[in-house]
């Protein structure tokens, strides 16, 4: 009788030890699972275009964002594509590679093109009003007659870009690179070019529209810029580096 009781107690102790081990492993597993889930939810999603949206664009030449429907073409590679007259209003094209793309007369109003590469793209007559072009690359891009009204071009690269007759009314060009850019006939009323680089830019016969429509060129670099026949009336030039390398010390807007 005593031997049976002793065996029963030993078996019970073994089960208790086993249960403790199982509970310990369960706790470890739960902790690892929690860490994995926590990492997944905290890691930012990798930018990737939506396959259906891309297919629609290539098939029908349009992909727009409307209400709850978001056209996601982020980080898409469309180098050299023909998107003439495409409708991409409100589309997410952040980080997209659009170098050499034909976007003549396309609608990109309200689109997100932050960080996108549009080098050497053809943007003649394109609607980019209210679009986010922060840090976008427009190196050597043709932007003739483009509508950039109220667009955000802060820190954008517009080196060697041709902005002939483009509309930049109220646009944000803070710290933008406009080195050697062509700005013949561009509308810069109410535009903010503070801290921008206009070294060697062609502003020949440019007119800033008068003191009631102020253009902010404070702290801009105009060294080497072509200002032959340009009318700077109405432009804020406080702290700007002038074409001859001198620094303008006058505050307020230019009335001369």
| pLDDT tens-digit series, residues 191-218 | 999 999 999 998 775 555 554 557 888 8
Pick from 153, 108, 98: which is nearest to 129 by CA?
A: 108
Q: Is the pTM of this model over 0.85?
A: no
| pLDDT tens-digit series, residues 216-230 | 888 988 888 877 766
**Sequence-distant (≥ 6) Cβ neighbours of residue 55 within 8 angstroms:** none
Structure tokens at 196: 């921008």
- Please give the pLDDT value at position 34: 62
Question: How far is 213 from 192, CA to CA, in rounded Å?
Answer: 11
- DSSP 3-state of 245: coil
Asked if residue 53 lies in contact with residue 72, where contact means CB atoms within 8 angstroms, the answer is yes
Asked whether residue 1 carries a pLDDT value surpassing 80, the answer given is: no
Pick from 119, 45, 38, 112: which is nearest to 78 by CA?
A: 119
Q: How far is CA 11 from CA 16, 23, 53, 164, 191, in A?
A: 9, 18, 64, 91, 85
Query: Exposure of 181 by Cβ count < 10 A (0-12 exposed, 13-18 middle, 19+ buried)?
Result: buried
């Amino acid at each position: 009788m005593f031997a049976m009781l002793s065996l029963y107690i030993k078996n019970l102790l073994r089960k208790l030890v086993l249960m403790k081990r199982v509970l310990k492993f369960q706790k470890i597993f739960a902790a690892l699972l929690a860490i994995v889930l926590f990492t997944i939810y905290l890691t930012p999603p990798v930018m990737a275009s939506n396959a259906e949206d891309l297919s629609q664009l290539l098939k029908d030449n349009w992909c727009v964002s409307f209400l709850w429907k978001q056209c996601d073409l982020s980080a898409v590679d469309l180098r050299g594509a023909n998107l003439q007259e495409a409708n991409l209003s409100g589309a997410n094209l952040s980080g997209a590679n659009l170098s050499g793309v034909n976007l003549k007369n396309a609608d990109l109003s309200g689109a997100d093109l932050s960080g996108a590469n549009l080098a050497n793209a053809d943007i003649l007559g394109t609607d980019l009003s209210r679009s986010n072009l922060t840090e976008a690359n427009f190196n050597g891009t043709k932007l003739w007659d483009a509508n950039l009204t109220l667009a955000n071009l802060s820190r954008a690269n517009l080196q060697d870009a041709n902005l002939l007759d483009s509309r930049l009314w109220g646009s944000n060009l803070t710290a933008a690179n406009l080195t050697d850019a062509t700005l013949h006939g561009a509308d810069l009323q109410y535009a903010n070019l503070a801290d921008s680089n206009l070294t060697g830019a062609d502003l020949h016969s440019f007119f800033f529209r008068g003191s009631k429509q102020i253009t902010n060129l404070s702290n801009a670099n105009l060294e080497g810029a072509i200002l032959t026949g340009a009318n700077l009336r109405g432009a804020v030039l406080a702290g700007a580096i002038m074409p001859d390398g001198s620094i303008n010390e006058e505050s307020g807007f230019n009335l001369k």
